[in-house]
Amino acid sequence: MASEFLENVLKTLKRGVEVGGFPEELYTMLSKPERILIVKIPVRMDNGKLVVFEGYRVQHNSALGPYKGGIRFHPEVTLEDDIALATLMTLKNSLGGIPYGGGKGAVRVNPKELSMRELEQLSRGYARAIAPLIGEFKDIPAPDVNTNPQIMAWMVDELSKLAGRNVPGTFTAKPVELWGNPVREYATGFGAAVAAREAAEVYLGGIEGKRVAIQGFGNTGQWHAYWLSKMGAKIVAISDTSGTVYDPNGIDVELAMKVKNETKKVINYPKGEKINDPKAALYVDADILGPDAMENQITLENVDKIKAKIIVEGANGPTTPEAEEKLYKKGAIVVPDFLANAGGVIMSYLEWVENIQWYYWGEEETRQKLENIMKNNFHKVNKKYQDMKSEKPEVTMRDAALVLSLERIYKAMKVRGWL
């Protein structure tokens, strides 16, 4: 039986095919990945014991270009969840207008339990294990949950050793010292902030002074909050696994980031009301909500507690299809994940373009390129949403994004002769 997350992604895909009037064979092709690699990664632990970790690389669809998608290290990751994430990457890359197909990777591990040496051995071992299937023109991984630029540095170094030359374009979101771009560190959160700002302009009359709640204060959530605060919004709630901080007068985001990164717990922020429930940030009185943690956070069980008018999905799949339907009936708008959180992969594309040309843009110029792409993509989707809504009032912004995304994939598959 498929995981709930994969079932939800396939439901979404099927709905997009139906709403867009595409032939059923498009769903048949996209409901299965093109290739799945399952690998074992033996690591000699610091205590001398040999532990074998299981890893995956899912290559979902290559009609538009090389596979592209992150690598997550998580103790509860499953192959089916990885398939779901790779499917979302296909949709996200197509909607973003970039020349990539979709892929995703994972290792079932709790990286917090590893020493730095063990983490490095695991990272290098995973890179070696998937090496036959990846490359700068085949499949370009990047970080995801619990992975970071340092892990990408170890991986690109391992691939460079195997290739006998530097291969910077094989991984993205690398440290600046290894052909990375400084914008990549905050690109996903920045892109989500741009999407939130543009949605606020259309549906709330502007971003200035609007109250924002962020659930999940990892990389995406931190930068989502940071850039929205810079754009004039008021961050009233933030949360992580330690709990929720709520302050209707506004949270000092830079202080909260400092506290989180130094103590690992957002609940140690010195001001505001502390709530033990990490999901409490979803329910506070806010204009905009950023579910930036994990999938399946807004469900039928808790959707009635959501007060925000605009939900900007920084995480992948945080809203179940049934919950989204109820949100729209309440008059809310959901800016879907594969539009809202595409800043990371779009920035990865820009970094990759730099790498394969051995060329470099400055931070300001790069951020402006990213902002322009995110802004244009939001308005392209919103226009499609308004056009579709005039004929079918029940459609969502996700439906509009799906139709635009699937249209591009369908045309590519059609001209290739796959359909």
Give me the pLDDT at residue 94, please: 98
Residue 117 banded pLDDT, cuts 50, 70, 90 = very high
Give the DSSP letter of residue 182: G
Average pLDDT over residues 319-328: 94
Give me the pLDDT at residue 350, please: 97
Instruction: Please give the structure tokens belonging to residue 391.
Output: 């004929």
Assign residue 135 a region: left if phi > 0, alpha if psi is -120 to 50, beta otherwise?
Answer: left
Residue 175 has pLDDT above 90, yes or no: yes
Residue 145 has pLDDT above 90, yes or no: no
**104 catalytically annotated:** yes
The CA distance from 271 to 78, in Å, is: 38
Average pLDDT, the chain: 96
Task: Name, in order, each residue with C-beta under 8 angstroms of 110's C-beta and a sequence gap of 6 or more.
Answer: 73, 74, 75
Structural contact between residues 404 and 95, judged by C-beta atoms closer than 8 angstroms: yes
Residues linked to residue 101 through DSSP beta bridges, in sequence order: 67
Query: Of these residues, 32, 40, 92, 104, which one is catalytic?
Result: 104
Write the pLDDT tens digit of every residue in 251-307.
999 999 999 999 999 999 999 999 999 999 999 999 999 999 988 899 999 999 999
Write the pLDDT tens digit of every residue in 200-249.
999 999 999 999 999 999 999 999 999 999 999 999 999 999 999 999 99
The CA distance from 268 to 247, in Å, is: 14
Indicate the burial class of 265 (C-beta count within 10 angstroms; 0-12, 13-18, 19 or more). Answer: middle
Structural contact between residues 41 and 106, judged by C-beta atoms closer than 8 angstroms: no
Give me the pLDDT at residue 3, please: 85
DSSP assignment string, 23-35: -HHHHHHHTS-SE
Q: Are strands 67-74 and 101-108 parallel, antiparallel or unpaired?
A: parallel
Residue 1 has pLDDT above 60, yes or no: no
Taking the CA of residue 213 as centre, how many other CA atoms within 13 Å lie in the half-sphere pointing to its CB? 27
Percentage of the chain surpassing pLDDT 90? 94
Indicate the burial class of 261 (C-beta count within 10 angstroms; 0-12, 13-18, 19 or more). Answer: exposed
Give me the pLDDT at residue 8, please: 86
**What pTM was computed for the model?**
0.92
The residue among 369, 377, 309, 367 whose CA lies nearest residue 341 is 377
Residue 110 banded pLDDT, cuts 50, 70, 90 = very high
The CA distance from 292 to 11, in Å, is: 22
Give me the pLDDT at residue 195, please: 98
Instruction: Please give the structure tokens belonging to residue 70.
Output: 């992150």
Q: Where are the alpha helices (DSSP H) in 207-306?
A: 219-230, 253-263
* 3-state SS, residue 101: strand
The residue among 378, 385, 387 whose CA lies nearest residue 96 is 378
Number of residues that make up the chain: 419
Residue 91 has pLDDT above 90, yes or no: yes
- What the chain holds in terms of domains, given with CATH numbers, is 33-168 (3.40.50.10860), 187-340 (3.40.50.720), 375-419 (no CATH)
Give me the pLDDT at residue 61, please: 98
State the residue for tokens 């502007």.
206
